[in-house]
């Protein structure tokens, strides 16, 4: 295993794409503008979150379809699509279509589990099949098989004037290699490795075992190593880390105060595992790029990861995102050994 930090190879960012319910177009346009800015700055990837019945992006695949026509190089990802809300066959069609339109730049990240607040949305989502739905790994396996080109039906051929395929169309051969699983437990990390997909880690992990109160970075490191031990590519298997990292190099005094207040308000939740699931949250990182680079190089999990998609705080303003992304690309990324992709 590596004993020194890997040079940062890929730099990305993640946004939730908030909008005003009275003017949703403006918020969606702002998200697309942020993606365009990311490409101009040389970022390798831009990722969007997935939010249902909230004032954030509910259809990331549609948003990324639009982004694919306004950019030419930057990779476009979802972090993550909760499959409990999706039909794997229909989602496979949508993903393949956007991948074709983007010329092979789509990076779909998914997760499993019942939909959030399932008791409240079940009647609208699955009024007739709620008890029969599989919200486990089987749902992800169905999607993976369909994206890889496994048969969806036993029939193919011509009926009258119509020609039918037995697999999802369009088929994008490279897409399966760009599928990611968003995991925060040892079990999910191993599943991703055993099934040959990439691993998305975030600022939340699950405390497991008798020593479940350990440091966030050590827990995440165990998951990264478990994933690579199970993956056919071993230590070369792709992992992307999604911590909240906010550089302040060019920030105004007002912005610095705002960012520091944001991190301070969220810090208490990092003191111990939270809730029945015993979730452990990473502290948000705010400060000058040189300081952030030192903190990241000391982070046990970061030392073995060479791809990141730093999460933008949800509630900031557009000008804040412009400043943060600019500092990431011009100061923090280079301090970590990364070079802009331009």
pLDDT tens digits for 280-301? Answer: 999 999 999 999 999 999 999 9
Hey, what domains does the chain have and what are their CATH numbers?
Answer: 10-153+165-335 (3.20.20.30)
Tell me the C-alpha distance between 205 and 282, whole Å.
8
SS3 assignment, position 181: strand
pLDDT, averaged across the chain? 96
pLDDT digits (tens, 9 = 90+) for 8-30: 999 999 999 999 999 999 999 99
Residues near 185 by beta carbon (within 8 Å), at least 6 away in sequence = 205, 206, 208, 223
- Give 6's pLDDT tier (boundaries 50, 70, 90): confident
Q: Which long-range contacts (CB under 8 A, 24 or more apart) does 182-186 make?
A: 182/79, 182/80, 182/109, 182/110, 182/111, 183/111, 183/223, 183/227, 184/223, 184/279, 185/223, 186/222, 186/223, 186/226
Q: Would you give the distance in Å from CA 223 to the centre of its chain? A: 16
Q: Please name every residue paired with 162 in a beta bridge, in sequence order, or none if there are none.
A: 159
- Give 306's pLDDT tier (boundaries 50, 70, 90): very high
Choose the weakest-confidence range: 145-154, 172-181, 206-215. 206-215
Q: In this model, does residue 136 exceed pLDDT 90?
A: yes
pTM of whole model > 0.85? yes
Q: What is the mean pLDDT of residues 26-43?
A: 98
Give the pLDDT confidence score for residue 211 in this predicted structure. Answer: 59
Nearest to 34 by CA among 48, 23, 55: 48
- Give 52's pLDDT tier (boundaries 50, 70, 90): very high
Tell me the C-alpha distance between 301 and 320, whole Å.
28
SS3 assignment, position 15: strand
């Amino acid at each position: 295993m590596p004993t020194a930090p890997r040079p940062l190879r890929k730099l990305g960012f993640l946004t939730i794409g908030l909008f005003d319910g009275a003017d949703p177009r403006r918020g969606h346009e702002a998200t697309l503008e942020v993606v365009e800015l990311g490409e101009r700055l040389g970022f390798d990837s831009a990722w969007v979150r997935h939010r249902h019945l909230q004032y954030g992006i509910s259809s990331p695949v549609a948003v990324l379809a639009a982004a694919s026509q306004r950019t030419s190089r930057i990779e476009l990802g979802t972090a993550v699509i909760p499959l409990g809300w999706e039909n794997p066959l229909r989602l496979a069609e949508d993903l393949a279509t956007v991948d074709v339109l983007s010329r092979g730049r789509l990076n779909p990240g998914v997760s499993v589990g019942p939909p959030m607040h399932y008791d409240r949305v079940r009647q609208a989502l699955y009024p007739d099949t709620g008890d029969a739905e599989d919200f486990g790994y089987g749902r992800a396996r169905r999607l993976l098989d369909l994206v890889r080109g496994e048969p969806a039906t036993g029939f193919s051929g011509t009926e009258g004037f119509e020609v039918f395929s037995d697999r999802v169309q369009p088929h994008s051969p490279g897409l399966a290699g760009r599928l990611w699983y968003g995991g925060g437990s040892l079990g999910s990390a191993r599943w991703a490795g055993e099934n040959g997909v990439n691993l998305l880690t975030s600022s939340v992990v699950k405390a497991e075992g008798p020593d479940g109160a350990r440091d966030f970075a050590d827990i995440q490191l165990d998951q990264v190593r478990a994933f690579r031990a199970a993956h056919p590519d071993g230590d070369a298997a792709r992992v992307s880390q999604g911590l909240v990292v906010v550089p302040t190099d060019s920030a105004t005094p007002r912005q610095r105060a705002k960012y520091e207040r944001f991190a301070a308000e969220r810090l208490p939740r990092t003191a111990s595992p939270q809730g029945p699931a015993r979730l452990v949250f990473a502290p948000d990182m705010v400060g000058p790029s040189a300081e952030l680079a030192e903190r990241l190089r000391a982070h046990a999990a970061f030392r073995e990861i060479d791809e990141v998609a730093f999460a933008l705080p949800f509630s900031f303003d557009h000008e804040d995102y412009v400043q943060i992304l600019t500092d990431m690309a011009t100061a923090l990324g280079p301090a970590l050994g990364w070079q802009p992709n331009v």
